[in-house]
Amino acid sequence: MNPATAAPLGKDLVGLENMSAEQLTAILDTAEPFKEISERRIKKVPVLRGKTIVNLFFEASTRTRISFEFAEKRLSADTVNISASGSSVVKGETLVDTARNLEAMRIDMVVMRHGASGAAQFLADRIPSNVVNAGDGRHEHPTQGLLDLLTIRDHRGKIEGLKVCIVGDILHSRVARSNIYGLLALGAEVAVCGPPTLLPVATDELGVQVFTHIDDAIRWADVLNVLRLQLERMEGGYVPSLREYNRVWGVTNARLEAAERDLLVLHPGPMNRGVEIDSDVADGPHSVILNQVTNGVAVRMAVLYLLAGGQPERAEAAKEGGEG
Ligand code: CP
């Protein structure tokens, strides 16, 4: 077997780019047995007992930070949460110095969100602990990509052959990149749809189709992954107004009904209701948005388990308290 496909994960999880279908499937399959732990009365197994994990978040997060913490605690790891505002980063300490000081306290893993593209790889190259990218700039958000893949597979039974359109602010989106890499590797047809101002210059190099009209995209797709308009990364000029954006690009019930297809609708959150997605879609029968959040815990358990040396085929035994 090619060494790249021998283990689903190596030392770190920085991105889904260059991952094989076998690696991705092994991670998703490992997440399956871990789902059940969160449904128990006592949500705890000793899989990562004795491991110390630092959650280092330089940008705001609700879903990713909390679901990593739940995943770690449900696997019995010891966890510490650090945000930039509460650390010596505000005094000018560098990322590497921060990480080396954490290393000096004998940690095992770092889960990091950072505003700079490439920050996760930069850190992974400099510290011996496992590094998990929880989102770096516009680069990748691999665990979001994995939980999106798992949610689509749960609801459609497969990824291969599905037509998945990623809608909205592709330019600023690390979620779009991780989704594109993962979906293409697993054999989906992938498209993006959004205003030309919010598409990357080299969209064609990503190997995806491009739609410039939302109604055409909805007619084509089996699955829509609707992205948040990242207003905090825009300095103006990308869209005329939020109302205009909703009118031209918004995923609305009227548009879904006109398509006459049983579409699956995902959104990584946080949502701008009434902008990229209407509330009656977000809360309606096509939406699997909260399923994505639930799957986020299981996927992150799987990633932590595999980085700690767990074997996919032993995940079932591990969650029953057996040897991982
Ligand atoms: N999907 C996602 O990354 O959400 P948070 O920013 O709340 O973590």
Res 278 pLDDT > 80: yes
Please state, in angstroms and rounded to a whole number, the distance separating the CA atoms of residues 51 and 75. Answer: 10
For ligand 1, is residue 117 a contact (CB within 6 Å)?
A: no
Is residue 5 very low, low, confident or very high in pLDDT (cuts 50, 70, 90)?
A: very low
* Nearest ligand 1 atom to alpha carbon 268: 1
For ligand 1, is residue 293 a contact (CB within 6 Å)?
A: no
- Segment among 162-171, 233-242, 291-300 with least mean pLDDT: 233-242
Predicted pLDDT at 201? 86
Instruction: Return all residues near 298 (Cβ < 8 A) that are at least 6 apart.
Output: 31, 32, 34, 35, 37, 38, 71, 150
Res 41 pLDDT > 70: yes
Tokens at 310, concatenated: 């767990």
Please state, in angstroms and rounded to a whole number, the distance separating the CA atoms of residues 261 and 94. Answer: 51
For ligand 1, is residue 261 a contact (CB within 6 Å)?
A: no
Q: Is 63 a catalytic residue?
A: yes
Predicted pLDDT at 176? 97
For ligand 1, is residue 156 a contact (CB within 6 Å)?
A: no
Active-site residue among 64, 79, 143, 252? 64
- Dihedral (C-alpha) 59, 60, 61, 66: value to the nearest 10 degrees? 90
- Tokens 């869209």 locate to 239
For ligand 1, is residue 179 a contact (CB within 6 Å)?
A: no
| Rounded percentage of the chain residues whose pLDDT exceeds 70 | 96
* Nearest ligand 1 atom to alpha carbon 62: 7
Q: How far away, in angstroms, is 145 Cα from ligand 1 center?
A: 12
Q: Is 113 a catalytic residue?
A: yes
Torsion sign across C-alpha atoms 133, 137, 141, 142 = negative
- Tokens 């074997």 locate to 311
Shortest-distance Cα residue to atom 4 of ligand 1: 63
Please state, in angstroms and rounded to a whole number, the distance separating the CA atoms of residues 51 and 56. Answer: 16
Is residue 324 very low, low, confident or very high in pLDDT (cuts 50, 70, 90)?
A: low
Shortest-distance Cα residue to atom 5 of ligand 1: 61
Torsion sign across C-alpha atoms 241, 243, 244, 248 = positive
Please state, in angstroms and rounded to a whole number, the distance separating the CA atoms of residues 264 and 161. Answer: 15
Residue 197 contacts residue 239 (beta carbons within 8 Å): yes
Q: Is 213 a catalytic residue?
A: no
For ligand 1, is residue 86 a contact (CB within 6 Å)?
A: no
- Closest by Cα among 227, 313, 282 to 25: 313
Active-site residue among 63, 156, 233, 261? 63
Helix intervals (H) in 52-173: 63-74, 95-104, 119-124, 142-156
Q: Is 163 a catalytic residue?
A: no
Q: How far away, in angstroms, is 65 Cα from ligand 1 center?
A: 8
Active-site residue among 51, 65, 74, 113? 113
Residue 112 contacts residue 57 (beta carbons within 8 Å): yes
Please state, in angstroms and rounded to a whole number, the distance separating the CA atoms of residues 58 and 110. Answer: 13
Please state, in angstroms and rounded to a whole number, the distance separating the CA atoms of residues 61 and 135. Answer: 10
Residue 226 contacts residue 176 (beta carbons within 8 Å): no
Instruction: Name the strand (E) or helix (H) holding 30.
Output: helix 21-35
Q: How far away, in angstroms, is 57 Cα from ligand 1 center?
A: 11
Instruction: Read off the amino acid at residue 258.
Output: A
pLDDT in tens, 243-262: 999 999 999 999 999 988 89
Q: Is 286 a catalytic residue?
A: no
For ligand 1, is residue 66 a contact (CB within 6 Å)?
A: no
Q: How far away, in angstroms, is 63 Cα from ligand 1 center?
A: 5
* Nearest ligand 1 atom to alpha carbon 134: 3
Predicted pLDDT at 237? 72
How many other C-beta atoms are found inside a 10 Å radius of the C-beta of residue 73? 15
pLDDT in tens, 66-84: 999 999 999 999 999 999 8
Active-site residue among 35, 74, 141, 174? 141
| Rounded percentage of the chain residues whose pLDDT exceeds 90 | 85
Q: Look at strands 130-136 and 109-114 and give their pairing.
A: parallel
Q: How far away, in angstroms, is 323 Cα from ligand 1 center?
A: 32
Predicted pLDDT at 2? 46
Q: Considering the chain, what is the average pLDDT of its residues?
A: 93
pLDDT in tens, 174-208: 999 999 999 999 999 999 999 999 998 888 788 99
Torsion sign across C-alpha atoms 151, 226, 185, 299 = negative
